[in-house]
Amino acid sequence: MKSIKTKTIWFLAAFVFFVNPLLSNAQKRLFVLSDPHLIAKGLFQSYSSAFQNALANDNKMFDLSNEIMQSVVNTILEEQPDAVLIPGDLTKQGAKLSHIEMSTILKQITDAGIKVFVIPGNHDVNNTQAVRYDGNNTYPAATVTSSEFVELYNEMGFANALARDNNSLSYVVEPIPGLRLIAVDDSRCTARDNNPYLNANGLTMSTRSWICNQIDDARQHDKQVMVMMHHNLIEHIDEQSSFTGDARLTLADAVRDEMLQHGARFFLTGHMHISNISTWYNEELTDSVVEISTGSAIAYPCHYRIIEVSPDLGTFTVTTHSITDVEGIENFPEYALERMNGSTRATISSIVYNNWDALSERLEEYQSYLGNVELTPENITNIAYRNMSESVSELNQVMAEGNENEKDGQAIRNRLNTAITNFANDILSDANIFIQLIAAPLITEQFNQMLDVPLKSALNDCTNYGSYRANVTDDLHPILHFTSVEIPSDTIRGDLNGDTIVDVSDVNILINIILGYETNNELIVAADLTGDNLPDVSDVNALINIILHKE
């Protein structure tokens, strides 16, 4: 029996030695997919009025989430990345049936030998809003607990984690050798097992401490560090909450500074549903954090990212792509844009509600001129939509596509200013012409001032606009540089027998480890060259590449 197993392993070793080493010249590649918000087919009927109302109030194509995810899977299988990273909101409302479907879809990727690493988002676990849609009504649907989430996605980060946090679903893996991915559960999943009504946005002090310890450990072992979390750590638009609500983590500034002090400078996030990459500099401009936020896979333009990592782990080349082919939809990009434009009223409603205190305060100053105009969010939304839908649709598209600074921002701003003027005139339509002439310009000016900072920041793709820390980071295809990772001088990767030479004798030790004939724990750890916590044939491949000086 031993002879048969040994021959099998040596056959595989010979195969990777003679056939596969050419592949090792390629850079390592990571595929980033965010916010797919899948809803199980069994939870809705397309003709349900309740479901149609939900679609009308959102720019995401929930009804096509399964078809879009299958297109994503097909793309991944074609691209053959080293790993797929998903920073949260795998499902629409955390229904258990949706998670079962999503985990089944993702298994197509892991079955093809591609690693997948997921974290939950605020929609995914202990979600009291999980429903199924039937006719005019919605009915409660079973959600998942934190332990059920881990069970469903066990092979997608949890089972082979190098470390797990005891107080959250956070874990650490090495998706590629030398790169530590700290996958952070910032949605309080375990705490919400006991109280599902807790705000799904934050980190406990113990989890913050655990993350910092993991960053320190990675640095001590000369590893590059990447942090993946759902919520944003930095603003991607100044006064971002005016447009999108605050997509950031609770106490984001404190967490950002803490992680930066420990040496984490590269973050992958989602949640905001638009693709944006921003850099935050400290006050002295001596250090910085880069955050890559990837838009929702089911909202125009259906972005995903590919990150190519240089052999020394010092250069990360990011490219941004769109899902363009979805079964049953002709000219999917155009269709997706039409769907987004069809949700403009919901966008305007969100802006009105996010800014209602400031809006109502300004409008109340002119209450005596407004006649019968009701100062309610719904009524102001109706008036704004009547006058501003076209301009807001244009702004939505520009922000969704990214690199806003490459567009004619001034022209967009001018058209929006005209729409705001029309909005002011509409509000004053019951007033006499004299009042209109006086009050309309004042209302227009005040509204323009209120939106001035976020619009300048968004249309110039610039954070900290107008300050000494102002910066523009390419949203779609940046090349990011970090300190290179080097193998410590006192150790040689792949030298399992300690003779300072990596050769066939080390391959022999690795084979014995895989077959279970070598049980020395230190050797087993050293033999895990791919960082997946499981010495196997992939480590033979890596060891052969070291011998050939390909790694």
- pLDDT tens column, 113-150: 999 999 999 999 999 999 999 999 999 999 999 999 99
Q: pLDDT at position 330, please?
A: 94
β pairing state of 115-119 and 131-134:
unpaired
Mean pLDDT check: name the lowest of 72-86, 88-102, 370-384, 496-510: 496-510
Place of tokens 């406990």: 204
**8 A C-beta contact, residue 275 and residue 402:** yes
Mean pLDDT check: name the lowest of 2-11, 50-59, 444-453: 2-11
- pLDDT exceeds cutoff 90 at 344: yes
- pLDDT exceeds cutoff 90 at 527: no
Q: What is the pTM of this model?
A: 0.84
Residues sharing a CB contact under 8 Å with residue 489, sequence separation 6 or more, in sequence order: none
C-alpha 268/C-alpha 281 separation (Å) is: 17
Which SS3 state, helix, strand or coil, does residue 319 take?
strand
Q: pLDDT at position 1, please?
A: 45
- pLDDT exceeds cutoff 50 at 487: no
Which of 410, 416, 404, 426 shows the shortest CA–CA distance to 447? 416
Query: Strand (E) positions, 301-380?
Result: 303-309, 315-322
CA distances from 524 to 506, 515, 517, 528 (A): 12, 12, 11, 7
Q: pLDDT at position 9, please?
A: 56
Q: Please report which confidence band the pLDDT of residue 316 belongs to, taking 50, 70 and 90 as the band edges.
A: very high
State pLDDT tens for residues 273-314. Answer: 999 999 999 999 999 999 999 999 999 999 999 999 999 999
Place of tokens 């300048």: 456
Specify the amino acid at residue 423. Answer: F
- pLDDT exceeds cutoff 80 at 23: no
The overall average pLDDT reported for the chain is 90
Q: pLDDT at position 8, please?
A: 53
**8 A C-beta contact, residue 53 and residue 84:** no
Q: Please report which confidence band the pLDDT of residue 500 belongs to, taking 50, 70 and 90 as the band edges.
A: low
State pLDDT tens for residues 175-205. Answer: 998 999 999 999 999 999 999 999 999 999 9
5-9, 182-186, 369-373, range with greatest mean pLDDT: 182-186
**8 A C-beta contact, residue 171 and residue 209:** no
C-alpha 487/C-alpha 481 separation (Å) is: 18
Who has greater pLDDT, 422 or 429? 422
**8 A C-beta contact, residue 430 and residue 373:** yes
Mean pLDDT of 6-32: 60
Q: What is the number of other CB atoms lying within 10 angstroms of the CB of residue 246? A: 16
Residue extents of the structural domains in the chain: 339-463, 504-547
DSSP secondary structure letters along 369-431: GSTT----HHHHHHHHHHHHHHHHHHHHHHHHH--GGGS-HHHHHHHHHHHHHHHHHHHTTTS
Residue 408 burial by Cβ neighbours in a 10 Å radius (0-12, 13-18, 19+): exposed
